Structure 1
């Protein structure tokens, strides 16, 4: 069990920890000289009567108002709060602020100690006890026991220690959920071992030999190996949630690590510069927090300046007042690693006063349309205690599918492949591509199909003589936000269901076909042979008509019908290329891209196919039109780069 102290400066927190454990947590010379705690201190004691080797772990935090950010870093991972109040002073400003922080962080277990009882009469102790009871009443620690003691004489210390042992003994092992999340609060070097970092495991589990990611918000991410591990001051092979861990990392200098860095499980890692929150203000906040109010937001071991965007009724009310709660979006000046359900605390912009705190609902919210009714409804669903309910709500509201990597990061999931997603969210369509997994609700998956089919129907009506629409062009018409690989998966599923057909690179509805009569087939085969013989310089429609003794209009109509079957491609008006020739030219384009930094220039393409520059440009513009390439640059820098699949396979 991880116990954190809280309370005003010079109320005896460090002395009490020393009386409970025998360890002096003030280790810095400045702390010794000034007699105050400046940095976080740690102490450990074996759990009395425990045969499993369990320990009580203590984090001693500073009590001075200047060091509240340090106190927040230590309190963010504790299981049990030990509020310390001196009998001679009674409740003081940092007593109230520390208790408020404990309450805002959602810590519901704790005890109160009235220290320095050897200095005051019994009446004073009872008065402080009543004062403490009134202070605790509106908080999560309202039912916390109160112990009157003296750390100097030892009176009452044994009773407190017995209570802590009893609470820890009843505590079951915390469930291991999600990937590893450990925020670094200290780093140093040990001779012969190398870099060591310490921190509290917020989630997941850590083993000796594991590969972990050392991630810095807004900075680099390094993959490192865990060389050794101490858990709660003892050598161990594994550390779980709530454990204080000292982690020996290989292949890094300790100077390259900073407080606030994270150790994370390998997988998707993403920092965020905005958070959607359910925010609660403390009752004694004296001013309203209006739109775009500047604050300091504390999360785990880090903090950032944040501007608050009001999302719900508080905007109409002119802001959030003391005791209010509301939905806000915090826009940060530096990124943080946050997950759904994380607790945050906000203080004023100058860092002098704690204003409130809340829970992260969405670490990757949109910057636009954040107050729309459907968005507010989703945030309401994200307040549900059940993680699967929250996940399904996000998938159900994603019209273009939800990015599984984003959900994995936001909810700290681990090892989620297609089968895991489908088992966890029955009915959800999980589409795996080289770039990741996309999740669709049944309604969104069918709505995408209806958009595709509807857009094709409109196109066939407007351009009846065209064979259909190429994939990339169709994606831009229907769902430009959707990754190409996901869109292709939907097309292929419609193809398998018989709701869609494909002719070469063109996708079309099953009813949009061009069947040729035997006579038309015979004439078409003769024309196709002339196109194939022409290779990169096929005859124009007028030339074909003259050589076949046909009308130009008849040749043009027949070639367009053959194009609907994917046997030829119209480059420009009255100029058609055989499918095999287009496939060959597609191969040339790929070769040029591979040999020229990915850029295809008209002059290079002209040299490969012969003919003039104008014809080379016309062919490259056709490839742009069907989504195989994309034009970039202007003037002499104009070129084309690969974008999608060729309109015809190179083995055609």
Structure 2
């Protein structure tokens, strides 16, 4: 597969970066009028270097002046390899050191040292420059970087540099085009008749012409009208490429450097509070105070913020990484693992850099407990980090976990499948087995208490149950627990599976007496509450008993006051059907059931209500006969 890379050209001002870029690419990256007049780079410049069947490489030439460090940081965002230009006649200079620090903090591991203007000095001075560079790089990630002497005007060493670039860069694993597309913007401009163009290095994924995109953090939606890579129009661009996107639906003044273009805004958090692992430069000039203002650089964005420590109030000198938090004045877009730089706003200097542990930082207490939690975020394995997130949130979807952890959904699913401590909910979300067990125990206890208090009821009303547990468990978790064998759902009621509604022993004899009295009275029963008074049962217990007997089909209510035994009721139906198989009037029914209207009318209306008969004018037709007739 074709591989895509971006190289950064860094170093002190006037050390020949732009000239070296032109020698390699035949492109003058100083395009601005002011850059031409002052003969210095102000904005990052870009040039295509190689484009063949196997490789596509672009070069970013970043400003070297200390006033343009912010542009330098934006320019090297997303590079795979750096060429550090050091002029033979000046050697290592302040911006050489600062660029080295920035590159190290940004996690750039591969580099090539280009000693420029090599033909301008005597061999002894060239050797001195080499020794100085070697000493400066000792102990850094560029300690063993190849060192090439070049002269951009005579092209001395240029071919050797090209070969070294190819040798070094092919050892680098290219950025993955898997996952969701992300392009931090480092340049925005407009072209007459074309509209807005945003340019940058693609960090993740790929984008195609016609695809909808969002500009974050402002969440402006647009569509990719066209794509250019190395000045050529292409159908799509992928991770590692320098690309320019012509956007429709977004005006030039709506976006700026530091914004991020994505194809799925749900996958990239917009945040202002970030947990970080931070390393400081050696020999700090001034102490770093608790809650000190800092300038935060990540990707191509630059935002003011405040540094917050949880285990100290000041740093004078620190060799080890510090776990802390950055609270920003404006929202930005970051993912776990993104490298960043922090600078002191006054006096202006680079003071450190590191990587993002968690874009969703929260307000924590000062102390060891917070440091331990941040250490878990830093060093924990994927399963440990999933567990920590679930401990905090109880239930999270696979998409939410992937976003919070900044890994693929596929890795989330695989991790969850490999560890028995995780369990999927009814909706497919992820929770911990311990939460499921806790919810089962809590629900069992609640229902057992309910069954003890109301033994004649079917179970707990589900809506009330969810309301009762709302503060303890998510609805998704409870819904999942209810699907287990521990519980049974009967219409809108929930019960413990082994529970059976029953009449408690203390009123069992009265319940039997009630059935006996109703049997004795037959059709001509008394008002139901009179039986309760005779039996000594009133209030809620009486209503509970009647409801239970009705559900168990031992009694049936003719109306609010009259109750028959179920067998008496069925007997009355059978008598009427036998005498009048198709239809009957009230008078007909009265000949079979010698009852007053007090009992007869409620009985006949109940037949209508239950769909056994249908009233048609002055007759009632057995509904099954009516259906048979219609079918016939």
Alpha-carbon contact 2:22-2:29 (below 8 Å) kept: yes
Distance 1:207 1:416 in 2: 23
> What are the Cα deviations for residues 105-137 of structure 1, in whole angstroms up to 9, with x where unaligned?
010101111222333222222112111111111
In the other structure, the counterpart of 1:356 is 352
Q: Secondary structure at the match of 2:444?
A: helix
Tell me by how many angstroms 1:511 deviates.
5.9
Structure number, greater radius of gyration: 2
> What are the Cα deviations for residues 181-238 of structure 1, in whole angstroms up to 9, with x where unaligned?
11111222334543322111111122233333x2322x2342x332322223333233
TM normalised by structure 1 equals 0.73
In the other structure, the counterpart of 2:401 is 407
Q: Secondary structure at the match of 1:63?
A: coil
In the other structure, the counterpart of 1:573 is none
Distance 2:492 2:265 in 1: 36
2:547 equivalent to 1:559: no
TM normalised by structure 2 equals 0.75
2:451 equivalent to 1:452: no
Tell me by how many angstroms 1:370 deviates.
7.8
Q: 1:433-444 maps to which residues of 2 (within 5 A)?
A: 433=427, 438-444=429-435
Tell me by how many angstroms 1:4 deviates.
0.6
2:128 equivalent to 1:134: no
In the other structure, the counterpart of 2:629 is none
2:107 equivalent to 1:120: no
In the other structure, the counterpart of 1:84 is 85
Structure 1 residues 401 and 91: alpha-carbon distance in aligned structure 2, compared to 1, 3 A threshold: same
In structure 1, the gaps of 5 or more residues are 528-542, 568-575, 577-652
Structure 1 residues 442 and 229: alpha-carbon distance in aligned structure 2, compared to 1, 3 A threshold: same
Structure 1 residues 90 and 480: alpha-carbon distance in aligned structure 2, compared to 1, 3 A threshold: same
Structure 1 residues 368 and 382: alpha-carbon distance in aligned structure 2, compared to 1, 3 A threshold: closer
In the other structure, the counterpart of 1:323 is 319
In the other structure, the counterpart of 1:289 is 288
In the other structure, the counterpart of 2:6 is 2
Correspondence for 1:43 among 44, 47, 52: 47
Correspondence for 1:342 among 331, 338, 355: 338
Alpha-carbon contact 1:346-1:357 (below 8 Å) kept: yes
Structure 1 residues 366 and 551: alpha-carbon distance in aligned structure 2, compared to 1, 3 A threshold: farther
2:199 equivalent to 1:215: no
Q: Secondary structure at the match of 2:91?
A: coil
Distance 1:165 1:463 in 2: 80
In the other structure, the counterpart of 2:482 is 492
Could you tell which deviates more after superposition, 101-110 or 26-35? 26-35
Could you tell which deviates more after superposition, 504-513 or 11-20? 504-513
Q: Secondary structure at the match of 1:25?
A: coil
Distance 2:406 2:209 in 1: 21
Tell me by how many angstroms 1:9 deviates.
1.5
Alpha-carbon contact 1:399-1:444 (below 8 Å) kept: no
Tell me by how many angstroms 1:384 deviates.
4.6
Structure 1 residues 89 and 458: alpha-carbon distance in aligned structure 2, compared to 1, 3 A threshold: farther
In the other structure, the counterpart of 1:179 is 180
Correspondence for 1:24 among 25, 28, 36: 28
In the other structure, the counterpart of 1:538 is none
> What are the Cα deviations for residues 592-626 of structure 1, in whole angstroms up to 9, with x where unaligned?
xxxxxxxxxxxxxxxxxxxxxxxxxxxxxxxxxxx
Structure 1 residues 418 and 110: alpha-carbon distance in aligned structure 2, compared to 1, 3 A threshold: closer
Distance 2:259 2:88 in 1: 39
Q: 1:540-619 maps to which residues of 2 (within 5 A)?
A: 545=529, 553-560=537-544
> What are the Cα deviations for residues 452-497 of structure 1, in whole angstroms up to 9, with x where unaligned?
333444566678898765546544554526543x14423422xx41
Correspondence for 1:238 among 215, 236, 256: 236
In the other structure, the counterpart of 1:225 is 223
Tell me by how many angstroms 1:320 deviates.
6.6
Distance 1:162 1:566 in 2: 92
> What are the Cα deviations for residues 350-388 of structure 1, in whole angstroms up to 9, with x where unaligned?
371111111111111332458564x655543433596x4
In the other structure, the counterpart of 1:103 is 104
Alpha-carbon contact 1:392-1:425 (below 8 Å) kept: no
Distance 1:424 1:231 in 2: 41
Q: Secondary structure at the match of 1:113?
A: strand
